[in-house]
Amino acid sequence: MVYALVGWLSFRRHSAYLAASIGATVSNTFFGFLRAYILIAVWKYKPDLGGYDVLDAITFSFLTQALIGPVQIFGGLDLAQRVRTGDVAIDLHRPADLQAWWLADDLGRAAHAFLSRGFAPLAAGWLVFGIVLPGPAQGAAFLLSLLLAVLVGFGMRYLVALAVFWIHDARGVEAIIRSCALFLSGMLMPLVAFPGAVGAVVQALPWAALIQVPADVYLGKRQGWDLLAAYAFQAGWALALLLLGRALTRAAHRRLVIQGG
Amino acid sequence: MVSTWLLLARTWTRAALQYPATLAMLSAGVVISTSLDLLTIVIVFLHVPRFGGFEPAGVMYLYGGAHIAFALSNVLIGSADRLGEHIRTGNFDTMLIRPVHPLVQLATEDFSPRKVARLVPSCLVLGWGISRLDLSPGDLLLTALMIVNGTVLFCALWVLAAAAQFVLLDAAQATHVITWGGEFTVQYPMSLYAREFLYAVTFVVPLAFVNWQPSLYVLGVPDPLGLPGFVRFLGPVATALLCLVAAAAWRTGLRHYRSTGS
């Protein structure tokens, strides 16, 4: 099937840049330590804040650094550049669905990012702090949650990329979305530490499905029915964003004017 | 060199102005990002009375000082860490045949007023911190000198990061550890970190001299490492040494550069 092939080739393409993966991993791991020290200061004073203990908070720092690659929280979609340059005309001409094509491409990228960049931050955290490592069942539950997180991440980045059909340049929107995403996903501070109503709101937004929910599943904070609720939350946002993406794709088709001969 | 820098910066600014909406949003993104950083610190203070041993005013003084120095260095030379990308694409060869120092071309590349926007929230934060701290005129003068010194120190780190990319090429992102990682490190009280790490950022990569050591003096706080009092004023020495290292690394990298060859 063509989409499986697109995904596989995307995986292969990303594997070609080994040095880039190593560079990114070094950086991700280093930031894991800095974030861990900050959370330690908070959780030492309040050892059960948000249902986390100190070790959970440290684990959260390293785990979420490992998630940066797969959910691509800092990045956009290459599609945005293709819309800007007009190369998207070629994509639209293919006998394949634009959204499914790019989703397959992004899943290949995410799989590679997880395998190449996911383990080093966790290993470093385990060596220095002895962070929580999940058992097989917990690990499998986490992988499903991670897959849903990647779908939500793709859903959002696809919308931003399509916005270029109307605004001609995505860099500004990407910058604003990135700043908000870092804060609202829990990358700066776990959402469980947000106070009262603010905490409830941020935990209901789609960004929570990117980082906070997979981390909670990894830490075993969501079990039984609660685990299903976590999946449903992520899947719901993924579906909503992907459907919105479909509607926007149709609108973009009508919007597209191909210049030149 | 200065006039060339200004000329190129003006050129890139005009280029950035071609996309006014993007420029406005990029600037807003920078301001939002800093504001959310601050909100994170506010959330921390909802839970703890002192962060790394400091009350809010002290934390904001450290944060503001660190960010102003970093933002200024980013304005002056922050795009230098794109060198790895330019080597990979072959653009660096083009830069080398132009009659302008390659570092100036790198430093001004993609210069945009959005970088200046970073200064606005940082200055407000520092101002708020100072207004709560009751500092003497001498302390204020020291704060100004600290920012100048921190800016030069960060500039040296950008050059060092760029020089490392002559070797690292595709792995250029590893150099983010000393640049963006440096900013992240110094924006919080360094008493949060482990002792080994504190020694490393004092004596290996002297980030502690961006704001930490002088701030300890201004805020009248004892050094968690117990270093003697004169160390608070060693900032210019550390910066000068780092500049020498950075210059040597850059020259060595440039001398051994042999294009990508494909």
d(C-alpha B172, C-alpha B158), whole Å: 12
pLDDT in tens, chain A (261 residues): 899 999 999 999 999 888 889 999 999 999 999 999 999 999 999 998 989 999 999 999 999 999 999 998 888 888 888 888 888 888 888 888 999 999 999 999 999 999 999 999 999 999 999 999 998 999 999 999 999 999 999 999 999 999 888 887 778 888 888 888 999 999 989 999 999 899 999 999 999 999 999 999 999 999 999 999 999 999 999 999 999 999 999 998 887 766 654
Q: Residues 6..25 of A with a Cβ closer than 8 Å to B: which?
A: 17-20, 22-24
d(C-alpha B66, C-alpha B185), whole Å: 9
Residue B51: phi and psi, rounded to 5, are -115, 110
- Specify the range with the lowest mean pLDDT, choosing from A56-65, B8-17, B147-156: B8-17
Q: How many CB pairs below 8 A link A and B? A: 115
Q: Which of B33, B47, B174 has its CB closest to that of A42?
A: B47
Mean pLDDT of chain B: 91
Residue B110 pLDDT greater than 90, yes or no: no
Choose from A116, A128, A176 for mutation: most chain B CBs within 10 A: A176
Q: How far apart are the first and last CA of chain B?
A: 32
Residue A96: phi and psi, rounded to 5, are -145, 155
Give chain A positions within 8 Å (CB) of B52: 41
A166 touches chain B (CB under 8 A): no
pLDDT confidence of residue A153: 95
3-state secondary structure of A125: helix
Cβ-contact A190, A52 below 8 angstroms: yes
Q: Collect all residues with Cβ–Cβ distance below 8 Å to A59 and sequence separation of at least 6.
A: A125, A131, A132, A218, A219
Amino acid at position B166, single letter? F
pLDDT confidence of residue A261: 45
Distance from CA of B138 to the nearest CA of A (A): 31
According to DSSP, residue B54 is labeled B
Going by C-alpha positions, the residue among B154, B181, B150 that lies closest to residue B74 is: B154
A42 touches chain B (CB under 8 A): yes
Q: Which of A19, A179, A189 has its CB closest to that of B33?
A: A179
CB contact under 8 A, A19 and B24: no
Residue B259 pLDDT greater than 90, yes or no: no
Residue B187 pLDDT greater than 80, yes or no: yes
Domain positions in chain B are 2-256
Cβ-contact B128, B215 below 8 angstroms: no
Q: How far is CA A238 from the centre of its chain?
A: 12
| Tokens at B13, concatenated | 């600014």
What mean pLDDT comes out for the span B53-59?
93
B194 touches chain A (CB under 8 A): yes
Cβ-contact B64, B125 below 8 angstroms: yes
| Tokens at A80, concatenated | 């945005």
Cβ-contact A33, A23 below 8 angstroms: no
B44 touches chain A (CB under 8 A): yes
Distance from CA of B168 to the nearest CA of A (A): 8
What mean pLDDT comes out for the span B71-96?
89
What mean pLDDT comes out for the span B39-68?
93
3-state secondary structure of A170: coil
B167 touches chain A (CB under 8 A): no
Residue B184 pLDDT greater than 90, yes or no: yes
Question: Can you point out the beta strands (E) in A140-240?
Answer: none
pLDDT confidence of residue B244: 97
Domain positions in chain A are 2-255
Give chain A positions within 8 Å (CB) of B23: 172
B55 touches chain A (CB under 8 A): no
Residue B127 pLDDT greater than 70, yes or no: yes
Q: For residue A224, is it left (φ>0), alpha (ψ between -120 and 50) or beta?
A: left
Q: For residue A7, is it left (φ>0), alpha (ψ between -120 and 50) or beta?
A: alpha
| Tokens at A49, concatenated | 């804040």
Entry field: residues in chain B: 262
Q: Which of A27, A40, A183 has its CB closest to that of B177?
A: A27
Give chain A positions within 8 Å (CB) of B21: 167, 169, 172
Q: How confident is the model at residue B2 (pLDDT cuts 50, 70, 90)?
A: confident
Report ipTM (2 d.p.).
0.90
Q: Nearest-5° angle of CA A218, CA A221, CA A226?
A: 110
Going by C-alpha positions, the residue among B236, B221, B225 that lies closest to residue B62 is: B221
Give chain B positions within 8 Å (CB) of A45: 47-48
Q: Which of A23, A33, A38 has its CB closest to that of B168?
A: A23
Q: Nearest-5° angle of CA A15, CA A19, CA A24?
A: 95
CB contact under 8 A, B171 and A26: yes
Give the chain B residue nearest A194 (alpha carbons).
B43
What mean pLDDT comes out for the span B193-221?
93
Q: How far is CA B68 from the centre of its chain?
A: 8
What mean pLDDT comes out for the span B1-8?
88
Cβ-contact B220, B242 below 8 angstroms: no
By CB atoms closer than 10 A (0-12, 13-18, 19+), residue B257 is middle
A129 touches chain B (CB under 8 A): no
